[in-house]
Structure 1
Amino acid sequence: MIPIPPPPPAIIAPAVEPRVAAPERSVDTASDLRIAAALTDARVRVDSGFSGATIVLYGAVFNPGDQPTDVVVVVRGPDAPVRLVKKTRNMGVWLNSRPVLFEGAPGFYMTASTRPLSDIADFGQLRRLGVGVDHLRIDAPEETRTVTRYGVRDVVVSRLGEDYLDWRRAVIRLREAAALYNTDPAGVSFVDRGLFRAEVELPTTAPTGIYNAEVWLFQDGDPVSVSNLTLTVEKVGFERNVYEFAHRQPWLYGLMCVLLAAMTGYLASRLFRRF
């Protein structure tokens, strides 16, 4: 009988530790001078109980050096036409002049900064960027013409020559009185090293639409970085339905308003006739 050789010893493979994926690492930005920002709420809903809103804009400044920087926040609402009239004295009587229409004035405009804008950048730089109420771009066509707006004929649309700046100041003054234009030279505050915050105050009369926010980073009077944000202010609920109906079918909306007013007047007359 032939003996059977014993089986070879089992070969034990060395233990292999499970491969752990390398953790993801962010891109190194230590050498970049830049700014990043965000809003606590990018959508504001307007209903019958809307009494204004306060939105916090926050962000961080990545500054690899020791040279100080400044932050400027600019929030601009949707453009809307502005109709103005001017009191003129004619033969001892004060009369309204022909209406003047500015077609491109923003419905909302605010700036907030770490210090006054004139200390951050020079006049030319601010004018080029359109930063600040004094450098706000309010469009009026080059040509002089008359149109019919707001049910009024012969509305003047022009740059008004030498009087343009006076009319422009009037637009800004009226919007500031309505809390739609605001300038806060100390509206941006640093809460920690590199971390800042600012508040955007929306009044009850804030127009609906898309708002554009620009967060500028200045150093030595020059813009070195910018972060662009979008804010939406929209009507909701019953107010939104009425708003959309009035704009989609204005003739039917006007007819319904007239009928409703006539019916209300008729019912009121019948009610008070009994007393």
Structure 2
Amino acid sequence: MFQVLPPEPPPQSAPEIVIERSAATTEEVRVAAALTDARVDVDSGFRGASIVLYGAVFNPSDTPADVVVVVRGPDAPVRLVKKTRNMGVWLNSRPVLFEGAPGFYMTASTRPLSDIADFGQLRRLGVGVDHLRIDAPEEARTVTRYGVRDVVISRLGEDYLDWRRAVIRLKEAAALYDTDPKGVEFVDRGLFRAEVKLPAVAPTGKYYAEVWLFQEGAPVSVSNLTLTVEKVGLERDIYEFAHRRPWSYGVLCVLLAAMTGYAASRVFRSR
């Protein structure tokens, strides 16, 4: 007995896949970026970290573009003293306090910033250590902290620029501020990378990265990223205890020091 089978359907060709670029990619110049690590854990064995920032430049035009990377760490007060000579004796001046300066600041670019944009653009954006915004009040005043009177520096004061340069110089010496005019490298057409090096003394907290794209001296696009540097383990517990209960932490440190000194004296006395 034979069974009549229905005719086989005609072979169908595979559907044609059309890849369409977004309108923003085809019409606008823009930059996109990311970090290899968005979190850095700090423990007793922390010796610094190196993070790669990578991205792509979408540039449908023939005008060349430059990439500038700015990484800024959490702000914190900066207390400075200056050596002054008084009657032949060098003494410390009254402490000067900046209310807020970045704990970490790094710029990397495809070429020197002065070749990418003019002074006004860089100052308006706060790009570059020379244009770094360090918080200071409009008028100088004094505050008392832990029994010591500090002079809070004023941005209108005559010595503001000198103190500001001192902050930058000390941060650079500690490898917390860095400027690399060739730190952004194009590894392929439109693809770039930059390395963010955090020293062992890098402060904990939120870091903010800005990736600027410049064309003909003007910013045309920016990509914003965040990075978290956080203590972990026993170090974090001690840090939180010290900041939440400073008096208890101080008393405990004094007791531990006294007990250690007493134990050491007993050991050396028995010998």
User: TM-score, normalization: structure 1?
Assistant: 0.91
AA of the residue aligned to 1:153:
V
Larger displacement relative to structure 2 (250-259 or 212-221):
250-259
Counterpart pick for 2:182 among 182, 186, 191: 186
Q: 1:1-275 counterparts in 2 under 5 A?
A: 27-28=22-23, 29-149=25-145, 151-159=146-154, 161-275=157-271
1:179 match: secondary structure? coil
SS of equivalent to 1:30: helix
Determine the structure 2 residue equivalent to 1:5: none
- Listed one character per residue, the Cα deviations across residues 27-73 of structure 1 (whole Å, up to 9, x for unaligned) are 24222100000000000000000000000000000000111000000
CA distance in 1, matches of 2:213, 2:19: 29
Query: CA distance change for structure 1 residues 262 and 84 in 2, over 3 Å: closer, same or farther?
Result: same
Post-superposition shift, 1:21?
11
Native 8 Å contact 2:140 2:157 kept in 1:
no
Return the alpha-carbon distance in structure 2 between the equivalents of residues 144 and 183 of structure 1: 30
Cα displacement (A) at 1:214: 0.1
SS in 1 for 2:45: coil
Contact 2:139–2:157 under 8 Å retained in 1: no
Q: Cα RMSD (Å) of the superposition? A: 2.1
**1:158 Cα deviation (Å)?**
2.6
Give unmatched runs, 5+ long, in structure 2: 1-5
Query: Shift in Å at residue 93 of structure 1?
Result: 1.0
Deviates more, 1:245-254 or 1:31-40: 245-254
Alignment coverage as a number of residue pairs? 264
SS in 2 for 1:161: coil
Which secondary structure does the structure 1 equivalent of 2:158 belong to?
A: helix
> What is the Cα deviation at residue 144 of structure 1?
2.0
TM-score norm. by structure 2 comes to 0.92
Q: Deviations over 1:120-151 (max 9, x none)?
A: 000000000000000000011112221123x3
- Answer yes or no: is the 8 Å Cα contact 2:102–2:134 preserved in 1: yes
- Deviations 1:94-129 (Å, cap 9, x if unpaired)? 111100000110000000000000000000000000
Q: CA deviation at 1:22?
A: 7.7
Give the greater-gyration-radius structure (CA).
Answer: 1
How much does 1:25 deviate?
5.3
In 1, Cα distance between equivalents of 2:149 and 2:245? 26
Runs of 4+ deviating beyond 4 Å: 12-17, 19-26
Secondary structure of residue in 2 paired with 1:162: coil
Q: Which runs of 5+ in 1 are unaligned?
A: 1-11
